[in-house]
Amino acid sequence: MDSDEMRGMGLSLKSMFGLAAIMWAAAATAQQVADVRREEAVQASPSANQYRDEVTAAQVTDLTPDMTRAVVTYQTHPMWTVGMDYLLFEGEHDGDMAPHALHVASGEVRCLVASGAGGCVLGSESGRLYYLSCRELRTLDLPAAFHGDGEPSVIAELPAEVSTAAGGVSLDAGGGVLYAGAALEEDKRWALLALDLIKRHWRTVTGLDFRIGHVQANPVVPGVVMFCHETGGDAPQRMWVVDTKDASPRPFYKETYDEWVTHEAWWGADRAVFTIWPYDDEHRRKPYGAVSADLATGTPTVHAQFPAWHIHGSPDGKWLVADDMARNLGLIRREDGERRLLTQGHLGQGFETHTHPSFTPDGAGVVFSSSRNGAEHVFLAAIPQWTSLPLP
């Protein structure tokens, strides 16, 4: 069943955010705890959409229980509006995947763009959703669209020299520029483009001789963009970064010993997280797992050595979350690399779900995709006190 409107879980969801904030603030002062959504920390009876993880006892909520299919926004991109009022995700609508939003206070879910939406990015501060529809870049006000007000507007069309969009879109930290990957000549030439949202003028930041993917602007520093050499598997040099002022891309983390690097995402202003996959016996004897590197030098730090797949860093820079091929999600403490299991068993029979976990903006929980209940849905795991979680 498609879910343009879904009601009935608002109180328990709001409560969960508040309770998670309190449990996760074990190292914070009492005042800091009180400041984290005190008004939302109202204990409610568990709903049918919530359960306690059988191994870790973490509280987990299915945020989209009535949808045919729903998956989280990729962990490279913003998905929450200011104040965590709305959560952006992809959901099935009339047989196609389309942008949807969850209104946290009410628990309602509504489709934002019924058809034709390609790559999209949310401006967290503005609440505006930017998306490609065929060759047009369009925008809408997410809260207004959720409540049925306002229509999408066209900002610009892709330049004539672009064959197809490729690699996604991302919004500059300054808010005035949108970046897009593009194929100029199929299977031969690609480029990173920049659109001035005020002047509505495109320019080419840099041309490339490889397929561009995972375009993601630095979330803090304007004019800095990370992207990858997309192959659908291993690339000889996966991670790239460019300062759009000098337009000379360079490796973010320079690969050695034929590593399999994947799933890079920014971690603050000057660091990115990624995973190194140990794809054979030789590479299991070399550094691998949950890794980060600094922007200035690309120097890597292996935070935890295990077969990590997708990864994300917490807003405060102290924690990481990563899954494995069994779709178990673990937390990693940055200061010492200790790893504990947060929640497990999120691969349903017959599915190939990618969990794409990411921390909530307040650091109190992790949202991810799960198929444990027989359909792909968006889940939220509240983060309990660290010492209550089991070692993997």
pLDDT digits 0-9 by tens, 262-290: 999 999 999 999 999 999 999 999 999 99
CA 304 to chain centre: 20
Residue 10 scores a pLDDT above 90: no
Q: What is the pLDDT of residue 116?
A: 84
CA distances for 114 relative to 90, 103, 151, 153, 169, angstroms: 11, 18, 12, 15, 19
Q: What is the pLDDT of residue 319?
A: 98
CA–CA distance, 230 with 208 (Å, rounded to integer): 12
Residue 98 scores a pLDDT above 90: yes
Q: What is the pLDDT of residue 150?
A: 84
17 φ/ψ angles, rounded to the nearest 5 degrees: -60, -45
**Tens digit of each residue's pLDDT (9 = 90 or more) over 185-223:** 999 999 999 999 999 999 999 999 999 999 999 999 999
Q: What's the predicted TM-score (pTM) here?
A: 0.89
CA–CA distance, 142 with 127 (Å, rounded to integer): 6
**pLDDT band for position 130 (cuts 50, 70, 90):** very high
Q: What is the mean pLDDT of residues 77-96?
A: 96
Collapse the DSSP code of 191 into the 3-class scheme (helix H, G, I; strand E, B; otherwise coil) and give the result. strand
Determine how β-strand 189-196 pairs with β-strand 201-208: antiparallel
Q: What is the pLDDT of residue 325?
A: 96
Joined tokens for residue 245: 């002022």
pLDDT: which is higher, 27 or 288:
288
Q: What is the pLDDT of residue 346?
A: 98
Percent with pLDDT over 90 in the chain: 85
**pLDDT band for position 14 (cuts 50, 70, 90):** low
Percent with pLDDT over 70 in the chain: 88
Longest pairwise C-alpha distance within the chain: 58
Supply angle C-alpha 320, 345, 370, rounded to 5.
75
**pLDDT band for position 392 (cuts 50, 70, 90):** very high
Q: What is the mean pLDDT of residues 36-48?
A: 40
CA–CA distance, 156 with 172 (Å, rounded to integer): 17
